[in-house]
């Protein structure tokens, strides 16, 4: 009757991951909102179906939840600091439930993670995933997550039929637009709607400029540094630029990397960053040359 994890479809395991994280969060009293994939209304789902569980966690409780999941047999696959330039999510892996991305904030509505979580929590609805009650954002919140997720992954927003369908309903779209300032997503939402230039001069402008127009990983990091509101945050990001994601390296190698391997990867990333920086400077110089 019991099946090896490989024989259970990934989207089924993702549903179980949602339920397992919800069960753990409920037990320790941490609030979570289930986003993307099987957590969203049918009209907003992607055709392929999600292969992991995405969960927005109350920023105050995220450490507690990570610790609880670890005691329940989940492994840390990647960390906040070594993941994306946004540093927004840590990925946990369970031998039976697969992957769960725990978000401490969502890129695009990241200016005030706690206030944003409270706003989304206040508008939550009760969903059900794998037979478990799971809170999900309001319909407007789900659309906003879809829009910002498309933006971050450089996927078309305006031509996405799921977005177009909501835009065609003025009342529903007005609710999305009303939510945008409440979660400080003005710049990202503007970028997604093709109106980024209206936000030139804001801290986030370059971050979304690089995201929407493409750029190297170094450029992405530097834009993220520019968008960081505090000096301390900027310094932290700069220190993280050349860090090696040891978790991912470990998964690639199938064993913990040696110090020498981490060192080689560090040098490789440094060289790659320097190359990208040289190319960017050369391009800038060529543009300025008469």
Partner 1 sequence: MTGDSMPGAEVVPRWSRAVGVAVVDVPDADEQPSEAGGEHPADGSAVPEAGGVVYLAPLPDGPVAVLSGASAVLYRALVAGDGDPVARVSRDLGVSPEDVDAEAIDDFADELVEAGLIVRHGAGQPGAL
Q: Which of 57, 88, 114, 130 binds partner 1 (CB under 8 A)?
A: 130
Give which of 110, 113, 78, 90 is closest to 228, Cα–Cα: 110
Contact call for residues 14 and 52 (beta carbons, < 8 A):
yes
CA distances from 166 to 137, 146, 147, 152, 245 (A): 16, 11, 11, 20, 38
Both tokens of 104, joined, read 């401490």
CB of 134 to partner 1, least distance (A): 10
Instruction: Check residue 5 for interaction with partner 1 (CB under 8 A).
Output: yes
Backbone CA torsion sign across 30, 65, 121, 110: positive
Distance CA 10, CA 16 (A): 10
Instruction: Check residue 133 for interaction with partner 1 (CB under 8 A).
Output: no
- Applying CB under 8 A, the site for partner 1 has a residue count of 28
Both tokens of 118, joined, read 């409270």
User: Which x/- pattern, by CB under 8 A, does the window 73-112 give for partner 1?
Assistant: x--------------------xxxx---------------
Closest to partner 1 by CB, 2 vs 126, is: 2
Touching partner 1, residues 14-73 (CB under 8 A): 15-16, 19-20, 23-24, 51, 72-73
Instruction: Check residue 7 for interaction with partner 1 (CB under 8 A).
Output: yes
Residues that bind partner 1 (CB under 8 A): 1-3, 5-13, 15-16, 19-20, 23-24, 51, 72-73, 94-97, 130-132
């Amino acid at each position: 009757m019991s099946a090896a994890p490989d024989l259970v479809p990934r989207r089924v395991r993702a549903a179980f991951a949602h339920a397992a994280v919800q069960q753990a969060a409920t037990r320790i009293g941490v609030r979570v909102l289930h986003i993307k994939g099987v957590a969203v209304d049918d009209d907003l789902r992607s055709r392929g179906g999600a292969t992991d569980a995405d969960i927005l966690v109350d920023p105050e409780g995220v450490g507690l939840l990570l610790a609880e999941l670890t005691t329940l047999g989940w492994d840390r696959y990647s960390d906040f600091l070594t993941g994306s330039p946004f540093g927004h999510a840590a990925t946990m892996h369970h031998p039976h439930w697969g992957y769960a991305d725990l978000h401490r904030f969502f890129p695009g509505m990241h200016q005030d993670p706690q206030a944003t979580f409270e706003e989304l929590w206040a508008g939550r609805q009760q969903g059900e995933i794998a037979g478990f009650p799971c809170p999900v954002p309001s319909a407007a919140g789900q659309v906003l997550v879809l829009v910002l997720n498309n933006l971050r992954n450089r996927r078309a927003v305006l031509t996405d039929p799921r977005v177009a369908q909501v835009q065609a309903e003025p009342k529903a779209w007005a609710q999305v637009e009303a939510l945008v300032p409440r979660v400080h997503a003005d710049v990202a939402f503007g970028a997604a709607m093709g109106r980024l230039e209206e936000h030139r001069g804001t801290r986030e402008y370059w971050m979304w400029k690089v995201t929407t127009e493409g750029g190297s990983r170094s450029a992405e990091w530097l834009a993220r540094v520019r968008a960081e509101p505090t000096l301390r945050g900027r310094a932290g990001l700069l220190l993280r630029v050349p860090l090696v994601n040891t978790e991912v390296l470990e998964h690639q190698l199938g064993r913990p990397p040696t110090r020498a391997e981490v060192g080689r990867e560090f040098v490789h990333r440094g060289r790659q960053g320097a190359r990208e920086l040289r190319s960017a400077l050369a391009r800038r110089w060529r543009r300025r040359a008469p």
